[in-house]
Structure 1
Amino acid sequence: MKTLQRHLGARHIRFLALGSAIGTGLFYGSASAIQLAGPAVILAYIIGGAAVYMVMRALGEMAVRQPVSGSFGRYASDNLGPLAGFLTGWTYILEMVIVCLADVTAFGIYMGFWFPDVPQWIWVLGIVLMICGLNLCHVKVFGEMEFWLALVKILAIAAMIVGGTVVLFLGVSMNGEHAAGFSNLWAHGGFLPNGIGGLIASLAVVMFAYGGIEIIGITGGEAKNPETVIPKAINAVPMRILLFYVLTMCVLMAIFPWTGIGSKGSPFVQIFSGLGISSAAAILNVIVISAAISAINSNIFGAGRMMYGMAEHGQAPRIFSATSRHGVPWVTVLVMAGALLGGVVLNYLIPQEVFLIIASIATFATVWVWLMILLSQVAMRRRLSAEEIRALKFKVPLWPVAPALAIAFMLFVIGVLGYFEDTRIALYVGTGWIVLMSIAYYAGVKPNLGGRLAQETNPS
């Protein structure tokens, strides 16, 4: 049985993270965040982006020191205990499944724009089979495809920012309505129209939008020269995502009053339509289809590699560690495809109004994983000797203040989910998930894990 192969370069890893993090949360979810916070959503993206960057640096410190399959699930096991690793790994898988379900169904809806008479389930089945096949290919083929898919999204966002900036400097009105200008950021109820409460409430959607960036850590087992590649990817990607989101929000709300954003579909449709492009909806459809495929692609990759790493250490069925002749964990890819097919009917019945609920549940899973990454890094630092700490090649900055602030922020976001009625279900579902998986660990995993560890310690 082959092991994972190191064929992913810095370019692949950087765009893999961008592909996972830039998707539905930006193209459609941004409208929900804007309605909650108004122009102050810019602050929410900045604060959230800073916290996520600290998570990435914590993950990078561990990944460079120990580049392994399973990544942060393995680090949680090593530094916080097997239960923490088990919960972290399976919660990340839950996050990926939820996001993929939303994106797969969204793909079916997008294709209905051009082919309204074709049943939606056909498109859903087609995309699941296509991406499943792609993930079964050599990892380098997968990396190249993800690079080009993510590039389409990035170029679309860049075009929107450039086009919007031109409109701002020319001072023209969009569709004969309100004149574009930076004054729109404070002229309609102020910069903070819904108060601090609105800003805080938007964090659920904002953090959902950043979810997926942690996939960089999972690529450690398949990265060329991880000591060089991972730091470069981590230092480049978070800042780029922060710029994409912050600049996009600034341009968007300077062109249109925030009160009207999202009332006519996606904010991106409004931008392209306002620029006088008659085929704006068709252009957006191409972009969001690429975005959906890219996000599903990278999320299946991430969840599959997590299951592979957990199987290697007795925290998932042993068969999940089976690999093809190309070193691809094919069983985990099929499991993810099955999960998506099994959830198609349920996801098809969910109306668009529950996007906030889906986003909030995914946010709980995402923030839980980020919290475990931060706690794992802190625990690792405490058990290392002074000499080992000096030998670290990619240290967390501003230690220990920055990690402590990031941990406090993650706990605050979880509290926010429970405080607001619209997102409270996420706390209920998340708590139930943690309890259920803890029971599963003690009932089915821990007894076998003890015997496995003893066998590894005394192979004779």
Structure 2
Amino acid sequence: MTTRPPDVLAATPPPGGQPPEPAGLKTGLKSRHLSMIAIGGVIGAGLFVGSASGIATAGPGILLSYALVSILVVLVMRMLGEMAAANPTSGSFSAYADRALGRWAGFSIGWLYWFFWVVVLAVEATAGAVILQGWVPSIPQWAWALIVMVVLTATNLVSVGSFGEFEFWFAGIKVVAIGAFILLGILAIFGVLPGSDKPATGFGNLTEHGGFLPNGPDTILTGILLVVFSFMGSEIVTLAAAESPNAQQAVAKATRSVIWRVGIFYLGSILVVVSLLPWNDPSIEEKGSYVAALDVIGIPHAGEIMNFIVLTAVLSCLNSGLYTASRMAFSLGQRGDAPRSFIRTNKGGVPQPAILASVAFGFVAVGFNYLWPDTVFRFLLNSSGAVALFVWLVVAVSQLRMRGIILRENPEKLVIRMWLFPYLTWATIAMISFVLVYMLTDDKEGGGRSQVLLSLLVAALVIAFALVRERMRPKSPADAAQ
């Protein structure tokens, strides 16, 4: 077994105050790239296509579900930002868990996170292929999925700058689209939309159709289960910051802006939908919440417009998902927890073997989706379904210990601090644990219970492997001294 290489987090920073750049990676991401990754990272395809079921379940009360998850995301990002600003690294929370909790923790959450994103690659490639085949039906879905995966793999292989440029424009389209939707929606709500003869709706739809919580207060919790996973991706900027020349500044900016980002894009857009339409309007589920709202506003070809925006969100998710999976694999390789070949970089400074390995598993998952969608692929989906919550839980637990490590070793790097530490950290841990337990009450097919149980099964297997591997690993002098 290989001994553990020097820990990136423990490395001595150069005179400029920044930690050394991970070997081989280049700082090719510009400030505008990171800014747009931070802004667009919270806008996933799930926001556009998954909100209808939440509205149908909780009515206007879905706003409370989004608000509670938004608070959770803000707290997790604050904790992650505290650690990432002090020690920017491509391994992000996996590297911090390694340092704070033990190598088994960094190994386990790193590989679970990688597994989550390679499954997401298959989901998003298939979703994009469905839209593209609708426009060009002569090309089969599998071919479109292949084309999309190959193109985005190529952009990731060229350089981190090409990834950043693609993501800049993808995220830019999402941000402009959501911003325009909210602006038009507000004008329509108050009846001042230029050229429109639609009467003002005001906010009456929030209470006039059975009340704000027409199906009871418990649907707020059910709504949380339906919307929580659409927030996954907000943490990507903390991985990407390691390839920026101003990593600490970028992380600090992204962390401080997360409140208005989730507030505007999630709460703002959903408020527009449930204000323009009665929550039980059949068109919300038939067409999708955003298409139905655009139809009410009177925007022609609303369905095609939304398909283009969803396709952009899908491509953005694919692009960032491949980047994220490869950088996590790179970090695991650096720490000796993945094949050492994963740390090799090409002339563009990107970890080519890690990218190709990630996309290879993505292709395998796409194949499972076409060959065995109801068996093998459903297992992959369900067994990765709760990983987002596991990641957030590990971030919170790691931050409890990393605060002390940072204060002991480099107190001047604590430029971002978690509010009301440690009380809000413990409250976050309790909130995440409650959501996981509540998911166990969702016993419908493919629901929360199966996701938690299968995700726990996979997590237990990975942790068991990590612990056995750690026990069998020869002790290095550094380990023996601890």
Normalised by the size of structure 2, how large is the TM-score?
Answer: 0.87
CA distance in 2 between counterparts of 1:317 and 1:386 reads 33
Aligned partner of 2:341 in structure 1 is 319
CA distance in 1 between counterparts of 2:220 and 2:241 reads 35
CA contact (8 A) 1:99 1:362 kept: no
SS in 2 for 1:112: helix
CA contact (8 A) 1:109 1:120 kept: yes
Aligned partner of 1:225 in structure 2 is 246
Aligned partner of 1:288 in structure 2 is 310
1:98 to 119, 132, 157: 119
Deviation at 1:349, TM superposition (A): 6.1
Deviation at 1:192, TM superposition (A): 1.2
1:356–1:340 CA distance, 2 compared to 1 (3 A): closer
CA contact (8 A) 1:315 1:445 kept: no
User: Which stretch has the larger CA shift, 371-380 or 360-369?
Assistant: 360-369
Aligned partner of 1:209 in structure 2 is 230
CA contact (8 A) 2:131 2:307 kept: yes
Aligned partner of 1:40 in structure 2 is 61
Deviation per CA, 1:168-207: give whole Å up to 9, x if none: 11189xx999973311111112111222221101112221
Q: AA paired with 1:334?
A: L
1:445–1:325 CA distance, 2 compared to 1 (3 A): farther
1:306 to 303, 325, 328: 328
SS in 2 for 1:34: helix
Aligned partner of 1:438 in structure 2 is 463
CA distance in 1 between counterparts of 2:120 and 2:64 reads 25
Deviation at 1:429, TM superposition (A): 1.0
Aligned partner of 2:421 in structure 1 is 399
1:346 aligns with 2:368: yes
SS in 2 for 1:187: coil
CA distance in 1 between counterparts of 2:42 and 2:275 reads 24
User: Which stretch has the larger CA shift, 147-156 or 339-348?
Assistant: 339-348
Root-mean-square deviation (Å) = 2.7
Structure 2 gaps, min length 5: 1-21
CA contact (8 A) 2:34 2:240 kept: yes
CA contact (8 A) 1:9 1:223 kept: yes
Q: Give the aligned length.
A: 452
CA contact (8 A) 1:149 1:294 kept: yes
CA distance in 2 between counterparts of 1:436 and 1:178 reads 58
Structure 1 gaps, min length 5: none
Deviation at 1:377, TM superposition (A): 0.8
CA distance in 1 between counterparts of 2:202 and 2:407 reads 56
CA contact (8 A) 1:17 1:212 kept: no
1:84 to 105, 113, 118: 105
Q: AA paired with 1:429?
A: L
SS in 1 for 2:83: helix
Superposition map of 1:348-363 within 5 A: 348=370, 362-363=384-385
Deviation per CA, 1:272-316: give whole Å up to 9, x if none: 222333322221121111111011101111111011001111111
CA distance in 2 between counterparts of 1:398 and 1:424 reads 33
1:252 aligns with 2:277: no
SS in 1 for 2:36: helix
CA distance in 2 between counterparts of 1:243 and 1:290 reads 19
User: Which stretch has the larger CA shift, 264-273 or 227-236?
Assistant: 264-273
1:163 aligns with 2:163: no
CA contact (8 A) 1:22 1:295 kept: no
Normalised by the size of structure 1, how large is the TM-score?
Answer: 0.91
Deviation per CA, 1:154-174: give whole Å up to 9, x if none: 1111111111112111189xx
